[in-house]
Amino acid sequence: MALRPRPSLSQGAKAIDEIVRQRVRQLLQAAKLPRGAPAKLWVGPATNVRCCCCGEAIDAGYEYELAFGAADSLKFHPRCYVIWDEERAAAEEAG
């Protein structure tokens, strides 16, 4: 049995980013994630809550917490926040 080469970390990260990006697009289209910019943004230590983009626990490093007016705040992994911000901006521009 031939061994297949393992993808590099950067290839793996790109694949994961694309999965999260697709999920974010779906959530934006379904209006389950906001398209507008947050009223406030905080960065703090991870508190083991679920990321609203990927659904995984934010259990290491930092988390981003975003507030949108009087609504509840949303929490993101740092990379998931970047993906959401890029996708929501693209959706805003597209109309």
| Domain ranges for the chain | 34-94
pLDDT band at 15 (very low <50, low <70, confident <90, very high): confident
Position 56 pLDDT exceeds 90: yes
What does the pLDDT average to over 5-28?
76
pTM value is: 0.82
Give the separation between CA 46 and CA 64, rounded to whole angstroms: 9
